[in-house]
């Protein structure tokens, strides 16, 4: 800070303490020392209230009777400083302040406006992590990571973040990954086909490229990292519909043509990985839906291990709900899923309410000797009838 300000402050503090702090705040704004600006605004507020000033940004020394007044200044100062950092193009510093006051939207907009980079730097790495792992803009975070680190690292990061994302964000991120992998795989397969067929019509799909061309897979041949393929197909289960769902189906169709040694297994009912995913995606796409749902019904009906039955039932119920088969979803859930923890995304209570199946819900809750939930169900039933 300019020596003139250091010279001014002692005089101003003795004559007009508040004017001195106003002068300090304005100087910090002009010099774009925004971290110090935040502290200075809190210092002024504490000085006005006669509070200790040795730790201006701390709230631990603020009595309860004055806490609301200091918190109001804290929020306003954080908002100002966050916005000033955004205007300066410093997204990570802005997030430090706007995160605390739970105002992520301006940071999301700033991240959304960023062009995809040609090369990495420390700031972009921070922004990508804020976007994905802090949940500010997961889709852009995935796009940034793909550009900065490629598919392998992005899959690892998305695997780590996926459980903390909303369904909408999981779907959006999965769509990005499906489009990315599909494009790379289709291009690789097209180049392989063109070695034997010089001229191909433009815009040929992956499905068309691999149809009746078993020689593409001879000798254990493959055209994309098979671990990447299985991960992206797994991510695609979050997709509800649209073009990307058919692209995911094509990825699964490709995977099912690979040498068996290159087809990784999954958890039940996806242990037969690619055929199971083909059935899953076809059910959602309403392509031979009954046959596709039958695949999972049969899996559940023939599962001998009672410990695995809820896992299979969970997948079937989720699929039935997404296909609009609520009555069947309730029947399956009533048999297998009534004791699921609250952490899972399927609520038996909410499913029954959505389906209007209060008969099943009340029966199960009575059998479970849960009078509170039973009363809640009665209230929900009454509301639905009004």
- For residue 343, pLDDT over 50 is answered with no
At 200, is the pLDDT very low, low, confident or very high (cuts 50, 70, 90)? confident
- 61-106 pLDDT, tens per residue? 999 999 999 999 999 999 999 999 999 999 999 999 999 999 999 9
Lowest mean pLDDT among 17-26, 55-64, 79-88, 277-286: 17-26
Query: Which pLDDT does position 1 carry in this prediction?
Result: 47
Q: Among 47-56, 75-84, 132-141, name the one with the lowest average pLDDT.
A: 47-56
Task: Give the per-residue pLDDT at 21.
Answer: 83
Average pLDDT over residues 137-144: 97
Q: What is the pLDDT of residue 14?
A: 67
Name, in order, each residue with C-beta under 8 angstroms of 271's C-beta and a sequence gap of 6 or more: 265
| Confidence band, pLDDT 50/70/90 cuts, at residue 53 | confident
pLDDT at 148: 92
* Average pLDDT of every residue of the chain: 91
Is the pLDDT at 120 greater than 50? The verdict is yes
- For residue 63 the two structure tokens come to 């009595």
pLDDT (mean) for 286-305: 95
Does residue 150 have a pLDDT over 90? yes
State pLDDT tens for residues 165-178. 999 999 999 999 99
* pLDDT value, residue 143: 97
């Amino acid at each position: 800070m300019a020596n003139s300000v250091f010279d001014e402050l002692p005089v101003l503090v003795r004559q007009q303490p508040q004017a001195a702090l106003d002068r300090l705040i304005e100087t910090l704004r002009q010099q774009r020392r925004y971290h110090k600006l935040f502290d200075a605004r809190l210092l002024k507020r504490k000085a006005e209230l006669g509070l200790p000033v040795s730790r201006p940004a701390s709230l631990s020394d603020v009595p309860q009777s004055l806490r609301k007044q200091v918190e109001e200044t804290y929020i306003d100062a954080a908002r100002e400083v966050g916005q000033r950092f955004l205007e300066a193009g410093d997204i990570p510093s802005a997030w430090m302040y706007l995160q605390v006051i739970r105002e992520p939207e301006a940071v999301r907009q700033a991240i959304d406006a960023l062009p995809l980079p040609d090369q990495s730097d420390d700031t972009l790495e921070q922004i990508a992590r804020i976007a994905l792992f802090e949940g500010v803009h997961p889709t852009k975070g995935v796009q940034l990571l793909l550009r900065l680190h490629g598919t392998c690292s992005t899959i690892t990061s998305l695997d780590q973040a996926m459980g903390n994302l909303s369904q909408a964000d999981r779907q959006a991120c999965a769509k990005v990954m499906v489009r990315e992998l599909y494009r790379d795989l289709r291009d690789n397969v097209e180049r392989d086909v063109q070695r034997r067929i010089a001229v191909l019509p433009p815009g040929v799909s992956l499905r068309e490229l691999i149809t009746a061309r078993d020689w593409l897979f001879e000798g254990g041949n493959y055209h994309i990292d098979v671990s990447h393929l299985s991960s992206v197909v797994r991510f695609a289960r979050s997709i509800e519909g649209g073009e990307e769902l058919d692209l995911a189906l094509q990825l699964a169709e490709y995977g099912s043509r690979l040498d068996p040694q290159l087809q990784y297994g999954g958890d039940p009912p996806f242990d037969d990985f690619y055929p199971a995913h083909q059935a899953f995606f076809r059910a959602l796409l309403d392509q031979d839906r009954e046959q596709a749902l039958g695949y999972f019904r049969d899996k559940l009906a023939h599962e001998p291990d009672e410990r695995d039955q809820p896992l299979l039932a969970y997948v079937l119920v989720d699929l039935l709900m997404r296909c609009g088969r609520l009555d069947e979803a309730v029947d399956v859930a009533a048999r297998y899923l009534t004791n699921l923890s609250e952490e899972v995304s399927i609520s038996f209570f909410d499913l029954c309410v959505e389906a209007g199946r209060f008969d099943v819900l009340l029966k199960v809750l009575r059998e479970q000797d849960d009078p509170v939930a039973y009363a809640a169900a009665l209230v929900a039933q009454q509301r639905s009838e009004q």
